[in-house]
Structure 1
Amino acid sequence: MNIASVRRPIIPPTPPRAPDNLSFFGRLAVIRQNMIATWGQRAYEEEIIQGRFFLHKSFILNQPDAIRHVLLSNYENYTRTPAGIRMLRPVLGEGLLLAEGHAWTFQRRTLAPAFTPRATANLVPHMTAVLDETIAKLDARTNAPIDLREVMQRMTLEIAGRTMFSFGMDRHGLTLRNFIMEYGERLGRAYFLDMVLPVSWPTPMDRARARFRTRWTEFVAMLIAERRAAGKKDGAPPRDLFDLMDEARDPETGKGFSDEQLVDEVATMILAGHETTATALFWALYLLALDPETQEEVASETRGQHLDSIADIDRQKFTRAVIDESMRLYPPAFLIARAARDKDNVAGAAVSKGDIIMIAPWLLHRHEKLWDQPNAFIPKRFMSKEQPDRFAYLPFGAGPRVCIGAPFAQAESVLALARLIGAFRVELVEADPVIPYGVVTTQPDHSPMFRITPR
């Protein structure tokens, strides 16, 4: 994909690439600290890299046709790895993200009406209300150092709370953030035994995760009880995601969610929704602070716009391209790992039962055979007639298991970035590079301080 650039684009900092001959145990040591620092130069140049993971083979796929085969054509042959299940089940339970087989089919069919474009459009007023409040608070903090990463986390959490429950998260936000930080700092990291033992064999960390899950599900159930206590007028249209999910029925069986299932679905939507969107917005703001000219293009596009409907959001073509390019360089979900249920053939490579397939958006989005100037920030590449292969750009996954909330997340991200840059000029206070690291999502190694000034 060739891109002509009038000026030299910025190339944001990245962690140093690992030696291609890094030992197995050396790689394991790096994985716990920063997964994206474990890949060497070969991973950015070759289409398929084969290795070994204990008793099984492992494959890194950077070839779109091979990825299409695993995520679409033969997706039922590939399931989450034991380590992936261990990392996610304590916080997401048996919700849509982790469900398999008939359970996944039931959940996907039942939830689909809650995430249609029309349903998303009905939730935009919740987003705009939170953005109005966020901008008002930021207006009182101009010209002083500010942690925009924290602001984005609080803002997207508030949007998640209001779109899910129609109430603010002022009373519960701190508790929810503490849960997320507690899990991410220790329990959400992969340890040696997590990667080598079957899921049915509990590791020491699994016991700690189980204790966390008990407290976590009690907290989510409390939020649901509070929302149900608020009630709903008979015959009134759904006012939030909870209404849509609580009333959802499988179109084939007429069955809805049990209370236990609803807890896992709500947890999945709140966590997956707010954390990944906050991460995407942070990186977009960081890139725009590094690139003032591009920032001014976003501000120019938003000037004079009301930005309070899906139609308004759809008109922000350049802002959408900035979000797309930010998620190319910093995909919130940096790795998709699968284990083969049975033997298969992927792009000529023989795959055996239990082999590990890795599709890393971090690698794929920076692959030298797929992208022109892959490490550069060039939003207009997404406004070109020549678009990347559908399976070369995976910020939300692909195939039947593509993120169900992608339209919601895209609308929220574009709306938020357009409104924020339309209101403020954003710059970095410090010159220290911000290095991305991968644990659960693609996070910064520290939260840089920004300065905002009114436009």
Structure 2
Amino acid sequence: MNIASVRRPIIPPTPPRAPDNMSLFGRIAVIKQNMIATWGQRAYEEEVIQGRFFLHKSFILNQPDAIRHVLLSNYQNYTRTPAGIRMLRPVLGEGLLLAEGHAWTFQRRTLSPAFTPRATANLVPHMTAVLDETIAKLEARTSEPVDLREIMQRMTLEIAGRTMFSFGMDQHGPTLRNFVMEYGERLGRAHFLDMVLPVSWPTPMDRARARFRKRWVEFVAMLIAERRAVGKKDGAPPRDLFDLMDEARDPETSKGFSDGQLVDEVATMILAGHETTATALFWALYLLALDPDTQEEVASETRGEHLDSMADIDRQKFTRAVIDETMRLYPPAFLVARAARDKDIVAGAEVSKGDIIMIAPWLLHRHEKLWDQPNAFIPKRFMSKEPPDRFAYLPFGAGPRVCIGAPFAQAESVLALARLIGAFRIELADATPVIPFGVVTTQPDHSPMFRITRR
């Protein structure tokens, strides 16, 4: 019998669970530091938890049928909460992630051709070129501890830059990373007034976010101007995402994006395309460092593979399962919060206008009624003949607003993990447990150091 099939799976560290009787104001105080730490044991056991959020009811949904109703069957009845809009609008503007109604329909229709599997396949050479460079740089650092989180951020940013603009991010990468860090550490945390005031009532933090947005929009517009200066030969096929987005037209109206809209779409794709993928890859490397046997299975699968095409990526079944299991344990978007536009019935409960619906992939993916050994790292659960319920596993959302870039992110993650583990054996150089915390995305509380050795 295969030893790997009977060995005890690892259970990575998590923050302590909150007391189930924690007060509303106690939870609000914790939210600013780590949203994940606000949930108690009940949230991991019960299908629906009803509470109150000031003047409105709140619901935590862990029931797939109820989630299907909110995200698919009646999705038009639910919009982002004021806090959600405040956290995302300064960096994403009115791009696809935040757009509503006709604006969202137009953007989704117009962008869809740029994110088909065929379009993604054409971008794989950009990914492999950056991976070749990253591996070459890591080969020179096998004698010293390395910060793989920072390296993943630099690598995925470089991939985002090349797939978006066909140029490297050596010059602009540090500025972009500074924008991301400034926002996440200072402005991307929800404060009390962010959660209770309507979006039309600016909070003190909103003013700071507005100043940030002005600088951020100028930076993205400058990147677009540099890319346009390079130009494109008439009649030549698109060479990057910018070509595809700049030339995109709504199939019904033939309209394209204005310059302002293009800035928001580019900002959305760059941020979503590098920060969440970098974080997912960091967590995958951390888990594989904790679990050397599983790491060796990934290395064994990649051995002898060229890994430079979508066909090669599609053959990495176990590596894909490792990525899927990583995003189950550490979902990039740990919380989806929606406010009801009108009354509804969800899981037998009456929902009124303004009530808050919370679908937390962090909870859903670790729910004790939905998963066997929910806190354990078991990639092979995703190689079963019976996949998890579509609305019990939401790393990219679900329904009409499912992440448009999911095929791109999955291809990049599988390719990067396979190439990195195929090249290096990875161990932790730091024994301090890494605790996840939720601020915009599921981040580590610190960046551990790793040791890498060439295979």
TM-score normalised to structure 1 length: 0.99
1:430 CA drift (Å): 1.3
For residues 385 and 144 of structure 2, the distance between their equivalents in structure 1, rounded to whole angstroms, comes to: 42
For residues 285 and 291 of structure 2, the distance between their equivalents in structure 1, rounded to whole angstroms, comes to: 10
1:389 alignment partner, SS class: coil
1:2 CA drift (Å): 18
| Alignment check: 8 A CA contact 1:427 1:451 kept | yes
For residues 5 and 390 of structure 1, the distance between their equivalents in structure 2, rounded to whole angstroms, comes to: 26
Query: In the alignment, which residue of structure 2 is the partner of 1:438?
Result: 438
For residues 31 and 4 of structure 1, the distance between their equivalents in structure 2, rounded to whole angstroms, comes to: 39
| Alignment check: 8 A CA contact 1:112 1:404 kept | yes
| Alignment check: 8 A CA contact 1:44 1:363 kept | yes
1:21 CA drift (Å): 0.3
For residues 143 and 362 of structure 1, the distance between their equivalents in structure 2, rounded to whole angstroms, comes to: 36
1:452 alignment partner, SS class: strand
For residues 404 and 143 of structure 1, the distance between their equivalents in structure 2, rounded to whole angstroms, comes to: 40
| Alignment check: 8 A CA contact 1:434 1:446 kept | yes
For residues 386 and 158 of structure 1, the distance between their equivalents in structure 2, rounded to whole angstroms, comes to: 37
1:33 alignment partner, SS class: coil
| 1:163-213 deviation digits (Å, cap 9, x = unpaired) | 000000000000000000000001100000000000000000000000000
Query: In the alignment, which residue of structure 2 is the partner of 1:61?
Result: 61
Judged with a 3 Å threshold, the aligned counterparts in structure 2 of structure 1 residues 247 and 361 are, in CA distance, closer, same or farther, namely same
For residues 431 and 423 of structure 1, the distance between their equivalents in structure 2, rounded to whole angstroms, comes to: 23
For residues 308 and 350 of structure 1, the distance between their equivalents in structure 2, rounded to whole angstroms, comes to: 52
| Alignment check: 8 A CA contact 1:124 1:308 kept | yes
For residues 57 and 37 of structure 2, the distance between their equivalents in structure 1, rounded to whole angstroms, comes to: 21
For residues 83 and 329 of structure 1, the distance between their equivalents in structure 2, rounded to whole angstroms, comes to: 25
| 1:146-179 deviation digits (Å, cap 9, x = unpaired) | 0000000000000000000000000000000000
For residues 95 and 447 of structure 2, the distance between their equivalents in structure 1, rounded to whole angstroms, comes to: 31
For residues 4 and 160 of structure 2, the distance between their equivalents in structure 1, rounded to whole angstroms, comes to: 39
1:126 CA drift (Å): 0.1
2:27 alignment partner, SS class: helix
1:385 CA drift (Å): 1.0
| 1:87-145 deviation digits (Å, cap 9, x = unpaired) | 00000000000000000000000000000000000000000000000000000000310
| Alignment check: 8 A CA contact 1:2 1:371 kept | no
1:273 CA drift (Å): 1.0
| Alignment check: 8 A CA contact 2:47 2:62 kept | yes
1:4 CA drift (Å): 11
Judged with a 3 Å threshold, the aligned counterparts in structure 2 of structure 1 residues 3 and 189 are, in CA distance, closer, same or farther, namely farther
1:400 aligns with 2:400: yes
Range 444-453 or range 1-10, more displaced? 1-10
| Alignment check: 8 A CA contact 1:35 1:438 kept | yes
| Alignment check: 8 A CA contact 1:3 1:381 kept | no
| 1:343-372 deviation digits (Å, cap 9, x = unpaired) | 000010100000000000000000000000
1:342 alignment partner, SS class: coil
| Alignment check: 8 A CA contact 2:64 2:391 kept | yes
Judged with a 3 Å threshold, the aligned counterparts in structure 2 of structure 1 residues 4 and 364 are, in CA distance, closer, same or farther, namely farther
For residues 3 and 406 of structure 1, the distance between their equivalents in structure 2, rounded to whole angstroms, comes to: 34
| Alignment check: 8 A CA contact 1:361 1:393 kept | yes
Judged with a 3 Å threshold, the aligned counterparts in structure 2 of structure 1 residues 361 and 255 are, in CA distance, closer, same or farther, namely same
For residues 252 and 143 of structure 1, the distance between their equivalents in structure 2, rounded to whole angstroms, comes to: 58
1:87 alignment partner, SS class: helix
For residues 6 and 79 of structure 2, the distance between their equivalents in structure 1, rounded to whole angstroms, comes to: 45
| 1:285-307 deviation digits (Å, cap 9, x = unpaired) | 00000000000000000000000
For residues 386 and 445 of structure 1, the distance between their equivalents in structure 2, rounded to whole angstroms, comes to: 34
| Alignment check: 8 A CA contact 1:370 1:392 kept | yes
1:3 CA drift (Å): 15
Judged with a 3 Å threshold, the aligned counterparts in structure 2 of structure 1 residues 4 and 429 are, in CA distance, closer, same or farther, namely closer
TM-score normalised to structure 2 length: 0.99
1:5 CA drift (Å): 4.5
Judged with a 3 Å threshold, the aligned counterparts in structure 2 of structure 1 residues 121 and 56 are, in CA distance, closer, same or farther, namely same
5+ long unaligned stretches in structure 2: none
For residues 386 and 269 of structure 1, the distance between their equivalents in structure 2, rounded to whole angstroms, comes to: 32
For residues 2 and 57 of structure 2, the distance between their equivalents in structure 1, rounded to whole angstroms, comes to: 35
| 1:69-90 deviation digits (Å, cap 9, x = unpaired) | 0000000000000000000000
1:138 alignment partner, SS class: helix
| Alignment check: 8 A CA contact 1:120 1:407 kept | yes
State percent identity of aligned pairs: 92
| Alignment check: 8 A CA contact 2:4 2:293 kept | no
Judged with a 3 Å threshold, the aligned counterparts in structure 2 of structure 1 residues 191 and 256 are, in CA distance, closer, same or farther, namely same
1:7 CA drift (Å): 1.1
| Alignment check: 8 A CA contact 1:283 1:330 kept | yes
How large is the RMSD of aligned CA atoms in angstroms? 1.6
1:5 alignment partner, SS class: helix
| 1:23-59 deviation digits (Å, cap 9, x = unpaired) | 1111000000000000000000000000000000000
1:38 aligns with 2:38: yes
For residues 88 and 226 of structure 2, the distance between their equivalents in structure 1, rounded to whole angstroms, comes to: 25
1:128 aligns with 2:128: yes
For residues 334 and 70 of structure 1, the distance between their equivalents in structure 2, rounded to whole angstroms, comes to: 17
**How many equivalent pairs are there?**
455
| Alignment check: 8 A CA contact 1:2 1:372 kept | no
For residues 417 and 106 of structure 1, the distance between their equivalents in structure 2, rounded to whole angstroms, comes to: 35
5+ long unaligned stretches in structure 1: none
For residues 141 and 435 of structure 2, the distance between their equivalents in structure 1, rounded to whole angstroms, comes to: 26
| Alignment check: 8 A CA contact 1:67 1:391 kept | yes
| 1:207-256 deviation digits (Å, cap 9, x = unpaired) | 00000000000000000000000000110000000000000000000000
For residues 63 and 2 of structure 2, the distance between their equivalents in structure 1, rounded to whole angstroms, comes to: 18
For residues 431 and 192 of structure 1, the distance between their equivalents in structure 2, rounded to whole angstroms, comes to: 36
